Amino acid sequence: MCGIVGYVGGQCALDVVLAGLRRLEYRGYDSAGVAVLADGGLAAARKAGKLANLEKELADRPIPSGPTGIGHTRWATHGGPTDANAHPHLDNAGRVAVVHNGIIENFAELREELAGRGHRLTSETDTEVVAHLLAESFSSCGDLAEAMRQVCRRLEGAFTLVAVHADDPDVVVGARRNSPLVVGVGDGENFLASDVAAFIAHTREAIELGQDQVVELRREGVVVTGFDGAPADDVRRYHVDWDASAAEKGGYDYFMLKEIAEQPKAVADTLLGRIDAGGALLLDEVRIPAAELREVDKVVIVACGTAYHAGLIAKYAIEHWTRIPCETELASEFRYRDPILDHRTLVIAISQSGETMDTLMALRHAREQGARVLAICNTNGSTIPRESDAVLYTHAGPEVAVASTKAFLTQLVACYLVALYLGQVRGTKWGDEVRSVVHDLARIAREVEEVLETMEPVRELARSLADQNTVLFLGRHVGYPVALEGALKLKELAYMHAEGFAAGELKHGPIALIEKDVPVVVVVPSPRGRSVLHDKIVSNIQEIRARGARTIVIAERGDEAVRPYADHLVEIPVTPVLLQPLVATVPLQVFACELATARGNEVDQPRNLAKSVTVE
Ligand code: M6R
C-alpha cells in the first residue's frame, strides 16, 4: 500500500526515482509525486491518477533535478485521490518534502496543534502534519535525522516516512514503524524503497530496517538509529537473489500472464533443497526444535485473501497427515475474538508480501499469548518472517500483479511441506509415506505445465462470458477453497459478482441464485479417494443444471461420470486428492485474467486495490 522511493547519489535523482516508482506502482495507483533537491531549493510535482499522469505533467512542465530525491505512488487512505492529497507534502515555506505509507492515527490533534501555531494545512491527508512538524524540529536542531526522530516519537499508528530538506541537500532520511522500508546499498549512491524492486536495477545489496528505526542516507553511507537516537545494533545486510529481469514483463502483456506461466518453475523452486537424498524433509529454516513440535496440540493458520485460501487447503492436509486439530482464520478477525492460544499452539502465518498488517497483528497477538509462530512468506527480509519464530520461504520470485497466482501455488507447496514435516517429526507419517507424497509433489510442476498448455478453450470460454453479471463457483473438500479462490480472482479482476460455495451448502440457500444460463464453475474432486464425495458433487451438478445453470466443470482427466453434465469440461491431470488444488486453480486464474481483459479492465492494477495491504 503506497510505494516510496528515495535516492541520493551521482545519477539524476528524478530519473532514478521515476524508474523506481514504475516498479512500485503495483502498491497503489491513486496518485504519484516526486520532490528533488536542486539549485539550493526543492522542486516538486504531483498528480492524481496513475504514474503516467505525473510523467505527462513533468513532460509539460519540467522541474530541475539534482542528486537527491524522493517519490511516492499512493493508495488513498485519508483524503480522496486528488492532486492536493497526492504526496509529497511540503511545509509552508516549501523547504521540506515528505512521503508516507501507513496511517498516522493522532494526526487530527497534531493538525489542530499546528494550526494553532499558524501553520496552513492544505490537504485532507494525515501525512501533511509530518512535513510541518519536521520543518519546526529542523529549524531548532538543524539536523534532518534528529528532526525525524523527534517527530516519530510524537506519532501514533503505522508509518514509513521519507523526507528531504532543501537546507540539507545531500541527505535523505527515512523512518519506519509497522510498515516496510528497505535500504539499497550502492557504490557512491544509496536508495530507500518500500520494496527492493525499486532499486534492483542498480544494486542487489540491501539492508532491512527494524521496527522504530530512522535511517540517514548519504552518498557515502548509511546510518541507522532507533527513534531514541541510539545506534541500531541489529542492522542486517543481505543479497537479493533475483535480478531486474525477474521484475519485468518479459514479453508478456501483463505481469499476471507472466506470473501464471512461471508457476511450474515457482513450484519446483519451492521444493528445491528441502528433500534429502533419502526423500526425507529437511526444513532448516523451521528453527522450532523437534521436541517442541511434538508437543504442539493445535495449529492455527492466519492469513488474508488468497493466502487465507491456501491456509484453508492446508487445514485438510495438516489434520489428515498429522491428526493435530487445525483452524484456519482470517487474520483480520483473529485477535478480536480472544482466541485460545498457549505455548503448545503452533500458529502459521501465510503472506506473500510479508507486510500484510492484519496478518502481522495476528502473529504479534499469538506470540504475546505464548504461541510459536511459523511464517510462510515470499519476501526475504519482510516484517512477518522477521517477527516470527521460524520461516519457510516460498521461492516464487517477485510477484508484481496485484492478483496473486504463483504465490498461491507456492504457498500450497510450503503448507504441504510443513504438514508432512509435522507428520515426520511426530511419527504420524512413516518415511515411505513422506517419500511418496514428496514424489507426488515433485511431479506437480510438470502437471501445472500440462494444464497451461491446454488453456485455449478456457480463454475462449472466458471471452464468451464477458457480458455476464454473475459467475458462481462450487467445490467440496479441498475443492471448496479452490472455488473461493476462483471467485476472488474474478471479483478483483473482472469486477463481476462472483461467489464460491461449498457444494453441499447449495440446498441450504445459494441454489436460489441459479437461473437460466448462470455460469457455474464446479471443481470436481477425484473419483478415486473419497468417491462418495465425487458422487455427491455429480448430483449437485445435476441439480443446478436442472434449474438452467450453464455448467463449467473442472474434473480429473478420465472422469467420465461428469462428462454428460458438463456444458464445458476442463480436464486436469490426475493427482492425489489433497494435491488437486495445485492443478485445479490454474484454469481459474487463466479464466479470470482473460475475462478481465475481455471486459477491458486493467489486469495488473485492478481498481481500488493495492498489492501489499499495510494498513488494517
Ligand atoms: O501479501 P499477502 O499474501 O499477505 O496478501 C494477502 C492478500 O491481500 C492477497 O492475497 C490478496 O487477496 C490478493 N490480491 C488476491 O489475489
Residue partners of 349: CB distance under 8 A and separation at least 6: 301, 302, 303, 331, 359, 360, 362, 363, 366, 373, 374, 375, 376, 377, 384, 388
In this structure, the number of other CB atoms found within 10 A of the CB of residue 245 comes to 9
- Rounded CA-CA distance 347/366 in Å is 7
**Which of 2, 326, 377, 415 does the annotation list as catalytic?**
2
Output the ligand 1 site: residues, CB below 6 A: 304-307, 351-353, 356, 359, 402-404, 488, 492, 612-613
Q: For residue 404, which atom of ligand 1 is closest to its CA?
A: 16
* pLDDT number for residue 531: 62
Which of 613, 615, 616 to probe ligand 1 with, by most ligand atoms within 8 A of CB?
A: 613
- Rounded CA-CA distance 213/91 in Å is 23
- Rounded CA-CA distance 504/518 in Å is 19
Q: Which helix (H) or strand (E) holds 191?
A: strand 190-193
Which of 302, 353, 400, 411 to probe ligand 1 with, by most ligand atoms within 8 A of CB?
A: 353
- Rounded CA-CA distance 564/570 in Å is 13
Q: Which residue minimizes the CA distance to atom 12 of ligand 1?
A: 305
Torsion sign, CA atoms 486, 473, 411, 287 = positive
* pLDDT number for residue 286: 83
Give every residue of the chain whose pLDDT is below 50, as ranges: none
In this structure, the number of other CB atoms found within 10 A of the CB of residue 302 comes to 32
Residue partners of 556: CB distance under 8 A and separation at least 6: 524, 526, 527, 571, 572, 573, 574, 575, 580
Map residue 123 onto helix, strand or coil. Answer: coil
- Rounded CA-CA distance 430/426 in Å is 10
Per the annotation, the verdict on 611 as an active-site residue is: yes
The string of DSSP codes covering 124-138 is S-STHHHHHHHHHHH
CA of 491 to the centre of ligand 1 (A): 13
524 DSSP 8-state letter: P
* pLDDT number for residue 109: 96
First to last CA, the chain: 11
Q: Which residue minimizes the CA distance to atom 14 of ligand 1?
A: 403
Total residue length of the chain: 616
All structural domains of the chain, each given as residue ranges with its CATH number in brackets, are: 3-247 (3.60.20.10), 255-448 (3.40.50.10490), 456-598 (3.40.50.10490)
Q: Which residue minimizes the CA distance to atom 10 of ligand 1?
A: 306
Check if the beta carbon of residue 107 is closer than 8 Å to that of residue 100: no
* pLDDT number for residue 100: 96
Question: What is the side-by-side strand order in the sheet with 568-572?
Answer: 497-502, 470-475, 519-523, 550-556, 568-572
**Which of 258, 315, 489, 611 does the annotation list as catalytic?**
611
Q: Which residue minimizes the CA distance to atom 8 of ligand 1?
A: 305
- Rounded CA-CA distance 420/434 in Å is 6
CA of 519 to the centre of ligand 1 (A): 26
CA of 93 to the centre of ligand 1 (A): 40
Check if the beta carbon of residue 298 is closer than 8 Å to that of residue 366: no
- Rounded CA-CA distance 557/573 in Å is 6
- Rounded CA-CA distance 484/315 in Å is 15
Distance of CA 256 to the CA centre of its chain: 14
* pLDDT number for residue 529: 66
Check if the beta carbon of residue 43 is closer than 8 Å to that of residue 36: yes
Phi, psi of 37 (to 5 degrees): -95, 125
Rounding to the nearest 10 degrees, give the CA dihedral for residues 287, 290, 295, 298: 50
